[in-house]
Chains A and B, each alone.
Chain A
Amino acid sequence: MSSRSISIAGSRTEVVLYAVAALAGFFIVWQLLVMYTAVGMVMPSPIEVVEAMVASCADPIGSKTLPMHILFSLRRVLIGYLLAVLIGIPVGILMGCFQVGEAIIKPVFEIFRPIPGLAWIPLAILWFGIGEESKYFIICVSAAVSIILNTYEGAKSVDPTLVGAARMLGANDFQVFVFVTIPSSVPHIFAGLQVGLSSSWMAVIAAEMIRSSEGTGWIITTGMDSGNTVQILIGMVSIGFIGLILASLLRGLEKKLCTWRIQGR
């Protein structure tokens, strides 16, 4: 080991090892608690949950198998989230780059901002019914707020010296926008995309509780209605893992686009 790294978790393989060890530790503690303490009366063991998850890949919960439930939720999240990205980034940039845009949009946005996505559920049902559209709407509204906010901050916090430097090198307004404002906002935009992604996962659960016959949120709700703890945990664990995978994919994309921010040799 080099003397430079003071932290114990130094290299990449070590970080992965620690992560695996921590997760394994968590499941072992859970298993032991269930086996030897009163926790066993209110909680299934992780082994039971995993077995039930594997089983539900073939035997449907309700009308669909677990992978289908996950795909349904995933489709809702991705559609709602993509809409939020398509709306949020341009709106944030309009607010951050143009004074007129800021003057017009910001007051309206500030009113909508404190309203949680879930507060839109009644209106969504009135407007779009209880079908898929109202779910997309709720997810989109929930995710859009943080995407707009972070994009706006990013576009606003462009270093004026860099804008001056670009102008001195002959860049016109449009070139400053494309070559300075946008790239310097990218890290902020990604922060917004991450928060937005977790908001849309939260929203899908709530949206599926409204009225649906499939999805991870539905698994949890019906599990609750029938007092089936295993089923509730299946829903929760699925959400956890899918969320983790999506967030990592996004982080990978960010890393690729923002190599310039990575320090080191």
Chain B
Amino acid sequence: MSKEMIVCKGISKSFPGANGSTLEVLKDISLSINENEFVVVLGPGQCGKTTLINLIAGLEMPTSGNVTVAGNPITKPNPDIGVVYQKTALFPWLSVQSNVGFGPMMKGMKKDERKKIVQHYIDLVGLTGFEKSYPIKLSGGMRQRVGIARAYCNNPSVLLMDEPFGHLDAQTRYLMQEEVVRIWEADKKTILFVTNNVEEAVYLADRIIVLSNCPTHIVTEFDVTLPRPRDYVSRDFLSLRKTVNDSLERTR
């Protein structure tokens, strides 16, 4: 039995809504993710996927239930958890290398040492030669690479990815899906990846957790045993894609 890295026990989250009502976003979510497992959380458009990420990251507190990461209860933002954002959230005033080295710099790591690991991750995500560029000069796919390198460089034990490829065009998206698997295989981490794209989920995941719409709860789970690298148009891929797709709630 491998180690459980992310454990959510019965977490719910409500926000105060208009005229004193409460809006329940997450309802009784329990999940556990093992070390180095690649789990994709798949849910329809407007459900509380980002809220789930924020709760695990410690950026928000659940209304009830609790979250532990690597055995530690989460009560505040914790650098042991890396986050990759949909809108990249890169610091626009920092170059690629300073963005990637931000976490180590906050920890007070010495410059020489920092430079070495920063370069390692820039090379790993395929951005060699762009060390001194500012984010504004990079394409959407390259910015996501910086975001991934920045999260990796802080050496977290788990990575949360919040629809990181949602804003990319279709071709770049396929490329980045391949890249994220390649990077993960080169440097194993526990990954929780959120998406609303069934094909992306089937391509990436060891396990897919399907969420319902608001209030969000877990509908079902799929283990994905297809060998990597996966073929988007193989028969097994397409049939699993159909099964997963059928499990998704239809909402207008």
Is B71 an interface residue, CB under 8 A from the partner?
A: no
Do A260 and B94 touch (CB < 8 A)?
yes
Which one of B40-48, B99-107, B201-209, B222-230 is at the interface?
A: B99-107
Do A169 and B94 touch (CB < 8 A)?
no
Do B106 and A261 touch (CB < 8 A)?
no
Is B87 an interface residue, CB under 8 A from the partner?
A: yes
Quote the shortest CB–CB distance from B106 to chain A (angstroms).
4
What residues of chain A lie closer than 8 Å to B69, measured between beta carbons? none
Is B31 an interface residue, CB under 8 A from the partner?
A: no
From the candidates B79, B93, B103, name the one contacting A184 in the complex (CB within 8 A). Answer: B93
Residue on B nearest A257 in the bound complex, by CB: B93
Q: How far apart are the CA atoms of A159 and B83 in the complex, in Å?
A: 16
What residues of chain B lie closer than 8 Å to A210, measured between beta carbons? none
Quote the shortest CB–CB distance from B154 to chain A (angstroms).
5
Do B102 and A186 touch (CB < 8 A)?
no
Do A164 and B89 touch (CB < 8 A)?
yes
What residues of chain A lie closer than 8 Å to B134, measured between beta carbons? 259-260
Is B81 an interface residue, CB under 8 A from the partner?
A: yes
- How many residues of chain B get a CB closer than 8 Å to chain A's CBs? 26
Quote the shortest CB–CB distance from B113 to chain A (angstroms).
16
Quote the shortest CB–CB distance from B99 to chain A (angstroms).
10
**A167-B59, A263-B136 known; A161-B89 Cβ under 8 A:** yes
Quote the shortest CB–CB distance from A190 to chain B (angstroms).
13
Q: 1/0 per position for A150-192, CB-CB distance to B under 8 A? A: 0000000001011011111111100100011001101000000
Residue on B nearest A169 in the bound complex, by CB: B103
Is B82 an interface residue, CB under 8 A from the partner?
A: yes
Is A107 an interface residue, CB under 8 A from the partner?
A: no
Q: How far apart are the CA atoms of A184 and B94 in the complex, in Å?
A: 11
Is B150 an interface residue, CB under 8 A from the partner?
A: yes
Is A265 an interface residue, CB under 8 A from the partner?
A: yes
**A164-B59, A168-B79, A170-B107 known; A183-B89 Cβ under 8 A:** no
What residues of chain A lie closer than 8 Å to B110, measured between beta carbons? none
Do A169 and B87 touch (CB < 8 A)?
no
Is A264 an interface residue, CB under 8 A from the partner?
A: yes
Quote the shortest CB–CB distance from A124 to chain B (angstroms).
39
From the candidates B79, B85, B87, B95, name the one contacting A170 in the complex (CB within 8 A). Answer: B79
Q: How far apart are the CA atoms of A262 and B93 in the complex, in Å?
A: 10
- Looking at A172, A179, A261, the one whose CB has the most chain B CB atoms below 10 A away is A179
From the candidates B57, B82, B92, B106, name the one contacting A260 in the complex (CB within 8 A). Answer: B92
- How many residues of chain A get a CB closer than 8 Å to chain B's CBs? 26
Quote the shortest CB–CB distance from A154 to chain B (angstroms).
13
Quote the shortest CB–CB distance from B200 to chain A (angstroms).
22
- Looking at B57, B92, B135, the one whose CB has the most chain A CB atoms below 10 A away is B92
Do A169 and B137 touch (CB < 8 A)?
no
Quote the shortest CB–CB distance from B118 to chain A (angstroms).
13
Quote the shortest CB–CB distance from A263 to chain B (angstroms).
6
What residues of chain A lie closer than 8 Å to B85, measured between beta carbons? 161, 165
Residue on A nearest B80 in the bound complex, by CB: A170
Q: 1/0 per position for B116-137, CB-CB distance to A under 8 A? A: 0000000000000000001111
Do B59 and A169 touch (CB < 8 A)?
no
Is B73 an interface residue, CB under 8 A from the partner?
A: no
Q: How far apart are the CA atoms of A162 and B59 in the complex, in Å?
A: 12
Do B106 and A175 touch (CB < 8 A)?
yes
Is B91 an interface residue, CB under 8 A from the partner?
A: yes
Q: How far apart are the CA atoms of A262 and B134 in the complex, in Å?
A: 9
Query: B interface vs A, CB < 8 Å?
Result: 57, 59, 77-79, 81-83, 85, 87, 89, 91-95, 102-103, 106-107, 134-137, 150, 154
Known: A258-B93, A260-B92, A264-B137. 20 other contacts (CB 8 A): A162-B91, A165-B83, A165-B85, A165-B91, A167-B59, A167-B77, A168-B57, A168-B59, A168-B77, A168-B78, A168-B79, A169-B103, A170-B107, A171-B102, A179-B91, A183-B93, A259-B134, A260-B93, A260-B94, A260-B134
Q: List 15 A-B contacts (CB under 8 A).
A: A161-B87, A161-B89, A162-B91, A164-B57, A165-B83, A166-B106, A169-B102, A170-B106, A170-B154, A175-B106, A179-B102, A183-B93, A260-B134, A262-B136, A264-B137
Q: Which 4 A-B pairs have the closest CB atoms?
A: A170-B79, A169-B103, A167-B77, A165-B89
